[in-house]
Every structure is written in C-alpha cells, then in structure tokens.
C-alpha cells in the first residue's frame, strides 16, 4: 500500500510536464474510444466501424508512448517506492510484541478469559512471552518455512544466494533489511521445536499427534475456563478450536 501510494506521483515527478501532458492525452483517447464503443454496442450488434478502429489505433498509440516513458523512469520509481517503504518501517516497532497484542481477542477466547480470570498470572505470562520475542524478527518464521523449498532449488546457485534473492523480494513487506545467519536460525528453530514437542509430550501426551486427544483436552480447557470466567461468556460453538482462532497459533 505504501509503495502503491507513491508510484504514480513518482512517475509524474520523473517525467515532468511532458509526461503529464502525454498521460492526459492518453486518458482522453481512452475515454473517446470507450464512449464510441459503448455507443456502437448500444445501437448495433457489431462494433467494428472505421471510426471506432481509428479511435482504437489512436488510443493504443498513446498507450505505447506512455509505456515507453514509464520503462525509462522505472529506476527512479523503484527508488522512490523503496525510500517510502523504508521510511514507513523506520517508524514502526519490528521486534517483540506489544502489551496490546491480544487486545482484539474475542471475549470467548482463551487469552481474553485468562486476562479476566487471573490478571496477575496473565501479566506474568505475557511478560515471559515478550522476553524471547524481543529478539529476532517476525519474518524469520517465513524464512524458516521457505528454507526447504530454497534448499531444493539451490542447484546452479548456492543456498546463500537463493536466500539473498528471496530476502530482496520480501524485504519491503516486512521491513526486514540486512543479513541473517540462516544456518544458526535453522539450528535454533530445530532446538526450540524439540523443546516444545517434549513439553507437550510430558504434560499432554498425544496432543500433538492424536486429533481425538487434542479435541478432548481443548474441550476440557474450554469448559474449565467458562466455569471460572467472571463474565460467564459462552462460546458461540461447542467446537473448542473456535476459542483459539484469534491468536492460538501465535
């Protein structure tokens, strides 16, 4: 959105009065062709008169001239888009999660219920959650998801080169500029996944591998939270997963 907002103004600035005059002429030619085409379509089953063909040729000539100039100005426009996006990300927090991260959670979700049931516990939990997330960048997860595909595609190019290209394509979307140590990132992700798996296997055996066990445990949790919730807000459905849809995968 930020890049789109500056695109046309950048073309206007790069081209100056000559480009603006040509662009206005192209828009006029397009309007004349569309008006004539609609008039012929409304009065006849055929829309191929010599007058219409002439208007179409005139429109396409202007379009080609504008496209030729836009290609010349593309480097300037790309630079303007990049500068605008970088300025946008410079004013935004890119690491960690704010205290209001769960503020939009529906009243019946687990995060919303826990805040009402035990505010001190919730405050301590959120603080502990913020500590590890204060380091790194949220987009690292997208890189981890893309790594298997990038490894498979790294044939003529090295994996590092593939990652650099992928990063260049994604940078403006996430404000994630600079280098990353992808090998260390992947190694730590494996370690964290192992820790998380062991935690679930110890405290909720079968939760990660058995749908029936997961459904039962989620149902029991939902019932206990409903009973303890001072607001007594019912869930809109008996499917316990509905209570997690706002944020549980985070």
- pLDDT higher than 60, residue 20: yes
- pLDDT higher than 60, residue 242: no
What was the pLDDT predicted at 93? 63
pLDDT confidence tier of residue 220, bands split at 50, 70 and 90: very high
What was the pLDDT predicted at 23? 95
> Which of 13-27, 42-56, 158-172 has the highest mean predicted lDDT (pLDDT)?
13-27
Of residues 188, 190, 150, 187, the one with CA closest to residue 168: 150
* pLDDT tens digits, 89-105: 777 766 678 888 898 88
Is residue 84 within 8 A of residue 34, CB to CB? The reply is: no
pLDDT confidence tier of residue 234, bands split at 50, 70 and 90: low
How far apart, in Å, are the Cα atoms of 162 and each of 80, 143, 148, 154, 197? 26, 11, 11, 7, 30
- Rounded to a whole number of angstroms, the distance between the first and last alpha carbons of the chain is 25
Is residue 29 within 8 A of residue 55, CB to CB? The reply is: yes
What lies within 8 Å, CB to CB, of 150 at 6+ separation is 159, 162, 163, 166
Reported pTM: 0.53
Average pLDDT over residues 72-95: 83
What lies within 8 Å, CB to CB, of 247 at 6+ separation is 101, 102, 105, 109, 111
* pLDDT tens digits, 179-219: 778 888 889 889 989 999 999 999 999 999 999 999 999 99
How far apart, in Å, are the Cα atoms of 60 and each of 23, 30, 40, 41? 12, 8, 19, 20
What was the pLDDT predicted at 169? 77
């Amino acid at each position: 959105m930020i890049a789109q907002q500056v695109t046309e103004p950048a073309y206007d600035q790069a081209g100056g009065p000559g480009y603006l005059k040509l662009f206005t002429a192209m828009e006029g030619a397009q309007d004349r062709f569309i008006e004539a085409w609609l008039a012929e379509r409304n009065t006849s089953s055929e829309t191929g008169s010599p007058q219409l063909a002439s208007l179409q040729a005139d429109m396409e000539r202007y379009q080609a001239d504008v496209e030729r100039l836009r290609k010349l100005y593309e480097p300037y426009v790309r630079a303007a888009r990049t500068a605008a996006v970088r300025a946008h990300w410079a004013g935004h927090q890119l690491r960690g999660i704010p205290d209001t991260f769960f503020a939009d959670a529906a009243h019946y979700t687990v995060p919303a219920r826990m805040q009402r049931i035990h505010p001190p516990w919730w405050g301590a939990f959120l603080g502990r959650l913020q500590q590890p997330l204060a380091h790194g960048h949220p987009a690292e997860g997208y890189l981890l998801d893309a790594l298997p595909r990038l490894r498979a595609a790294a044939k003529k190019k090295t994996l590092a080169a593939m990652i650099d290209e992928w990063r260049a394509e994604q940078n403006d979307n996430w404000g994630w500029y600079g280098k990353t140590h992808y090998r260390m990132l992947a190694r730590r992700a494996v370690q964290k996944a192992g820790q998380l798996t062991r935690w679930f296997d110890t405290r909720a055996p079968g939760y990660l591998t058995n749908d029936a066990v997961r459904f039962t445990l989620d149902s029991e949790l939902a019932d206990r939270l409903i009973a303890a919730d001072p607001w007594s807000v019912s869930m809109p459905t008996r499917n316990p997963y509905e209570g997690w849809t706002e944020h549980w995968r985070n």
